[in-house]
Structure 1
Amino acid sequence: MTEYRRILLDGAATAVVRDGDELVSGDGRRVGVDDAVHLPPCEPSKVVAVHLNHRSRVEEFQTKLPSAPTYFHKPISALNSHGGAVVRPERCKYLNYEGEIAIVIGRTTRNVSPKEAGDYIAGYTVANDYGLHDFRDTDAGSMLRVKGSDTLCPLGPGLVTDWDFHGKYLRTYVNGELVQDGSTDEMEWDMHYLVADIARTITLYPGDVLLSGTPANSRPVQPGDVVEVEAEGLGRLRNHIVAGPVPIRDDCGAQPTESEEVMSTVLGGDWEFRGIRPPRSS
């Protein structure tokens, strides 16, 4: 396996290769892994995400999977990177983490079978598919603001090639505490299937990203929290939550809500009937 990253090196976006504890550019310059300013490891034209895929998440919501996966789109303006700040806008309370594995496309892909799809994948990286559920009542269908608001798509730290996705753990930590503990083996539809499914009608280009779903126990985080997602063999993506200084405008559009649907999604089910207290606000 080889791990590629994109960093700011002397002010320029630069592709580098990991060599132990250092990142090496094509001209031989080296920088320590922990000293680098990271960028997303790929430059997608689109980010497509599957709604439900992990069985533990399905069981948590006491629901059933559809006969085939369903998807939503995250705009590329939501992209963020390893070490980046994730912004919870003022007047919003319910920003949830969702640790995931991201598939990165390596070459133009259209109308391929699941058996062929692996040949079109450049590699994999770690993702956190944050959701701003204050807008779930109005955007539940499109997920546009819920999942597509600025900074809500961190990817990284690197792109790893030749990674076997079978039997790998996927874990999320908040302030060092384990909060999600899943496995790729609990995915109903694997990476190759997802690529083939989307590419039936949508051309995927090099750098495009598909998010493959999150396990159970997505919960809200607060400004000041540090969230890390670790996938076996792919590394650990770290971000911190900050409060947006400008409140959501109230002179246009739907406003943040705290309906039963919002709270059920935020806390993983019918929270009113489980004795679960809503999260603290700040």
Structure 2
Amino acid sequence: MKKARVAFSGAIHEAVEIEGRLKLDDGRIVEEQEVVWLPPVEPRTVFALGLNYADHAAELAFKAPTEPLVFLKGPNTFIGHLGQTFRPSEVANMHYECELAVVIGKQARNVKQEDAYNYVAGYTVANDYAIRDYLENYYRPNLRVKNRDTCTPLGPWLVDAKDIVDPMNLSFRTYVNGKITQEGNTKDMIFSIPTLIEYLSSFMTLDKGDIILTGTPVGVVNVEVGDEVVTEIDNIGRLVNTIVGR
């Protein structure tokens, strides 16, 4: 099942997809263009992976890590499908990053890899923009690189974990103004979803609603004001976002 969170007629609703339309939790059926899309889950603790694809590490002239490189993101960064992301006027390099987002479904502590999927509620699409002008080094992603307001579109859907046969074999791609600029597959992650859940839960408790952004592959390019960026993952969704100035 595909679930969403939207604002409609002055209220926030949970919704499900019904033949290309949205059925709200009060029973009303509306068109996708009639609502304001919100992130499909309210993010709690959000873990983001740096350099979790070897080709992307090489693209940035870094060595592939031997241990997960994890940093945290604040709730201010997240917006929904069809949202607008501000591009700072003073920067030269703002890159999209298409990523599979893993949503934790229940409290997890000291989870083993073989049990990890039992703790996953579902999956969604993230576009985790990076302002690379401020990148210090790959062990210290500067706050100004990854925690900008509006710089992480998330959605449109939360897809139930049971509906995804193999989350470690999902193709994804990014389009800028209709031109494909990035392609990848989750099978090429350095650290798999079960590995990440085991790693994180070994030293801290994961809670329902926590999110793991699993990284992006090679193919990031600069985006400019006015660009439409589409990040999509097979069987998960198609996330549309526009770059605006401020």
Query: Do they superpose with TM above 0.5?
Result: yes
- Separation in structure 2 between the aligned mates of residue 58 and residue 139 of structure 1, nearest angstrom: 9
Single out whichever of 186-195 and 120-129 deviates more from structure 2: 186-195
Per the TM alignment, residue 37 of structure 1 is displaced from its structure 2 partner at its CA by 1.4
Per the TM alignment, residue 20 of structure 1 is displaced from its structure 2 partner at its CA by 1.6
For residue 68 of structure 2, what is the aligned residue in structure 1? Answer: 69
- Separation in structure 1 between the aligned mates of residue 208 and residue 72 of structure 2, nearest angstrom: 17
- Separation in structure 1 between the aligned mates of residue 211 and residue 16 of structure 2, nearest angstrom: 20
1:108-147 to structure 2, matched below 5 A, reads 108-137=107-136, 141-147=140-146
CA contact (8 A) 2:168 2:193 kept: no
CA contact (8 A) 1:96 1:131 kept: yes
Q: State yes or no: 1:240 paired with 2:231.
A: no
1:210 alignment partner AA: I
Q: Could you report, residue by residue, the CA deviation over 1:74-116 in whole angstroms, capped at 9, with x for unpaired residues?
A: 1111111111101012222321111111001111122111111
- Separation in structure 2 between the aligned mates of residue 25 and residue 156 of structure 1, nearest angstrom: 17
The answer for unaligned runs of 5 or more in structure 2 is none
- Separation in structure 1 between the aligned mates of residue 80 and residue 29 of structure 2, nearest angstrom: 20
CA contact (8 A) 1:73 1:144 kept: no
- Separation in structure 2 between the aligned mates of residue 136 and residue 52 of structure 1, nearest angstrom: 13
For residue 231 of structure 2, what is the aligned residue in structure 1? Answer: 229
- 214, 217, 223: which one aligns with 2:216: 214
- Separation in structure 2 between the aligned mates of residue 36 and residue 84 of structure 1, nearest angstrom: 11
1:17 alignment partner AA: V
- Separation in structure 2 between the aligned mates of residue 123 and residue 103 of structure 1, nearest angstrom: 6
TM-score (norm 2): 0.93
For residue 186 of structure 1, what is the aligned residue in structure 2? Answer: 188
Q: Could you report, residue by residue, the CA deviation over 1:20-49 in whole angstroms, capped at 9, with x for unpaired residues?
A: 211112221111224321000001212111
Per the TM alignment, residue 196 of structure 1 is displaced from its structure 2 partner at its CA by 1.8
The answer for unaligned runs of 5 or more in structure 1 is 245-282
CA contact (8 A) 1:56 1:186 kept: no
SS at match of 1:119: helix
TM-score (norm 1): 0.82
How many aligned positions are there?
243
Identity of aligned residues (%): 39
